[in-house]
Amino acid sequence: MRDDERSEHDANTSAVPGGRWSRLVRLGALAGGVAGSMLAEGTRQFAQGKRPRISDLLLTPANARRVADQLAQLRGAAMKFGQLLSMDAGDLLPPEFGAILARLRADARAMPMRQLASVLDANWGHGWDRHFRQFSFTPVAAASIGQVHLAQTKDGRRLAIKVQYPGVRQSIDSDVDNVATLLRISGLLPSSLDVGPLLREAKRQLHAEADYLGEGALLSRYAGLLADTPEFMLPEVHGDLTTESVLSMSCMGGVPVESLLHAPQAERDRVLGLLFRLLFREIFEFHLIQTDPNFANYRYDVASRRLILLDFGATRGYPAVVVDAYRRLMASAVAGDRQEMSVAASAIGYFGADIGERQRQLVLDVFLHACEPLRHAGAYDFGNSDLPARIRDAGLALSTERDSWHTPPADALFLHRKAGGLYLLAARLKARVDIRALFLPYASGQAPS
C-alpha cells in the first residue's frame, strides 16, 4: 500500500468501538449532548421572551444531526436500527429526524487500516497476506455491518472481500435496546409508535446479516434458483477465505445500475422488467426474498447485458400462508375488490383488533395506491408518475390516526422495503414496465411454467 493511499485511507476512517462499554459510553455522551443542546436552545429562546415546548427543543435539526452522526460512528446494530426506522416508520417520524436518518442508508466511515488488519489476523491468522498478490486496504464500499475490499490471490483469483466491523455481532441486542431507549427518552420517537416489533426484527435481522457463512450459503442457494435465468449474474463464494466475519466472493465488474439513466429507453425498460419479474418469482415461486432495496446491490454488465445481483445478507424466507395472502391482496387490488383486499390484509396482519372502519379504509387506500402499477393496463410509466407523492400523502393521512396505529408484521415491512426500492429505481431510470402482465400469471395461485 502506498504512503499516499494510506494517508488518504486514514483521513476518511474512524475506528469502530468494539466493546459494549465503549459503545454504551458513546450513547451516553450522545444523550448528554442532546440534553446540553436543549439547555442552550432553551436559554436562548427564554432570553428572547419565548416559552418553548420541550418537544420543540428536542426536535431541532442539530439534535437530529447529532443522533444520526453518532449512529453512523457506531455502525452495526445502532446504525442499522436507524436505517430501519428511517425506512419503516416513515411519516411517523419527525421530518428533521427522518431526513437525516435517511443518510444512514449510504453513510458509513471505513475502519482504520490497523483495525482492519487486526480483524483479518483474527479470521485468517497471522501472515494471511501470503495468500495474496495484491490486497487493497482502501475499501470500495462501507456500510452498517462491514466494508468491502478488492484483492487478487496468488493463484489468480480476483476477489471482493467483505470484512465485518469488530464487535458488531456481540453488540447487536444491547445496541438496539440502547438506541431505542435513547430515542424514546429523548423524545425523538413519538410515544404512540410501537417499536417493539421493530426492535425484535432488527435484532433477528442483524444476527442473520452478521453471519457471513449464512450469507454465503444464501448466495449459493440463489445462484441455483436462478440457474435457468442467464440474464442474471451472481458472485461465487470462495469458501477457503470465508469465515463468519469475512465473506470472500468473486469480484464482479459492471457499472452502477443508476448509470443506465442515459441508456436507450428499451434497455432501461428491459432491466426494470427483469427486476420486477425477479421480485414476483421471489415472492410466489421461491418464497425467499432479498429484501435490501439499496441500489448498490445491483450492477450492470454492459458487454453481456446481464444484471449483477449482490449482497444477500437481508434475505428472508416467507411462509406459504403469507405468500398466498399477498397473492390475494394483489389480485383483489387489480380487480378493485376492497372487501377481498381487507380480508387478505387481515390475514397478513395489517389490522389490530381495535381498528376502526375509517382507519381500515385508509390502509386500503395506501394499498390501492401502491398497487397502481399492477392495476394499470400496459406499460406503467414510472418516470412520469406522481405515485410516490400520493403514497406519501396517503401514509400521512394514516399517520394522523395514531390512536389506532398498528405496526405491520416484519414480513410485510421488509417486503414493502424491497418493492418500494424497485419503484424508486424505476422512477430514477424513467422506466416503463407492464407490471400487470408480469403479475397476472401468478394471480390464480399457479406459478407460470
* pLDDT for position 83: 52
Strand partners of residue 298: 309
* pLDDT for position 134: 96
Is 106 in the same domain as 117? no
CA 355 to CA 334: how far, in whole Å?
A: 24
The answer to whether residue 201 sits within a structural domain is: no
The residue segments making up the domain with residue 398 are 254-449
CA 250 to the chain's CA centroid:
23
Strand partners of residue 162: 148, 247
| The total number of structural domains that make up the chain | 3
CA 137 to CA 113: how far, in whole Å?
A: 7
The closest alpha carbon to 411, from 203, 205, 211, belongs to 205
Is 97 in the same domain as 121? no
* pLDDT for position 245: 94
Is 305 in the same domain as 383? yes
* pLDDT for position 225: 96
Q: Which long-range contacts (CB under 8 A, 24 or more apart) does 421-424 make?
A: 421/292, 421/293, 421/294, 421/295, 422/272, 422/275, 422/276, 422/279, 422/293, 423/373, 423/382, 423/387, 423/388, 424/293, 424/388
Pair 219, 232: CB distance under 8 Å: no
The answer to whether residue 204 sits within a structural domain is: no
CA 113 to CA 16: how far, in whole Å?
A: 12
Is 247 in the same domain as 258? no
Q: List residues with catalytic annotation.
A: 292
Strands 232-233 and 306-309: what pairing? parallel
Cell of 187: 423524545
Is 236 in the same domain as 379? no
CA 299 to CA 249: how far, in whole Å?
A: 15
The closest alpha carbon to 98, from 106, 108, 90, 109, belongs to 90
The answer to whether residue 128 sits within a structural domain is: yes
Is 330 in the same domain as 409? yes
* pLDDT for position 29: 47
Is 121 in the same domain as 63? no
Pair 373, 433: CB distance under 8 Å: yes
User: What is the chain's pLDDT, residue by residue, as a tens digit (449 residues)?
Assistant: 444 444 444 445 555 444 444 544 444 444 444 444 444 444 444 445 544 443 443 445 565 555 555 555 555 555 555 555 544 444 444 454 555 455 544 455 678 888 999 999 999 999 999 999 999 999 988 777 888 999 999 999 999 999 998 888 887 887 777 777 766 665 555 566 666 777 787 788 888 888 999 999 999 999 999 999 999 999 999 999 999 999 999 999 899 999 999 999 999 999 999 999 999 999 999 999 998 878 889 999 999 999 999 989 889 999 999 999 999 999 999 999 999 999 999 999 887 766 778 778 888 888 888 899 999 999 999 999 988 777 767 666 665 555 555 667 888 888 888 888 899 899 999 999 999 999 999 998 766 65
